[in-house]
Amino acid sequence: MKRFIPSFRVQIVLLVLFLVINAVLFFRNYFLENLTSFNAGVEALEIETQIADLHARYGQHLPAEVQDAFREDVEALLETEHQVGLARDLFRREIELYSYFIFIFLTLSALILFFLSFNLISRPLKRLQDAAVSLAAGDWSIQVQENRFSPLNDLIVSFNHMVSELESSRNKLVRAEKELAWREGDGPGYGP
């Protein structure tokens, strides 16, 4: 039973896709873990509990005229701490959302750049391969389209020059064979 082995192009595409996805996921997890450890450090301070303990310890020992103001200040601090917690949660969600957008953007950008550069190299190679097959089949006038932006343009120019030289040599050989045949007696006026 023959195993399916993907072409070299498919293998390269899969490898690049694998590397890009893993790199982006690594950086995404790195930032999310840092944010999580920061939030855990802030929660470990237990600011709300400390404010509540402060109120419980000193609230009743204060004079009556100051107790209401102290209670209001403690409630304001608790409300502020609650809002900070909500802001941290909102910030975490935004970081997660942005990380998904960054993941998609970087993956698509890397794939697009990869496909463009890969086609810039592989398309001329495919044209050269097709031209070599045509040359082997006897098409002596084959020429591969040149592209000055291709990194393989020098190879294409050399191939086209080689094909031109081969065709010129072949034409010279055919003419020499015709002349030789004509000289050996197959020319006009030498027959029975």
Say if 2 falls within a structural domain: no
List pLDDT tens digits, range 4-58: 877 777 777 788 888 888 888 888 788 888 888 887 877 777 787 888 888 788 8
b vs e for 55-70, b when ≥16 Cβ sit within 10 Å of the residue's Cβ?
beeeeeeeeeeeeeeb
DSSP assignment of the chain, as one string? -PPP---HHHHHHHHHHHHHHHHHHHHHHHHHHHHHHHHHHHHHT-HHHHHHHHHHHHTTTS-HHHHHHHHHHHHHHHHHHHHHHHHHHHHHHHHHHHHHHHHHHHHHHHHHHHHHHHHHHHHHHHHHHHHHHHHHTT-TT--PPP-TTSTTHHHHHHHHHHHHHHHHHHHHHHHHHHHHHIIIIISTT---
Confidence band (pLDDT; 50, 70, 90) for 1?
A: low
Answer yes or no: do 38 and 131 share one domain: yes
List pLDDT tens digits, range 43-98: 777 787 888 888 788 877 888 888 888 888 888 888 888 888 888 888 888 888 88
Domain extent, residue 171, equals 140-186
As a whole number of angstroms, the distance between CA 106 and CA 157 comes to 36
Say if 1 falls within a structural domain: no
What's the pLDDT score for residue 131?
92
pTM confidence score:
0.49
- In degrees and rounded to multiples of 5, residue 3 shows phi and psi of -85, 140
Answer yes or no: do 22 and 63 share one domain: yes
- HSE on the CB side for 79, CA within 13 Å? 6
Answer yes or no: do 68 and 94 share one domain: yes
Say if 151 falls within a structural domain: yes
Answer yes or no: do 131 and 94 share one domain: yes
Say if 114 falls within a structural domain: yes
* Number of domains into which the chain is organized: 2
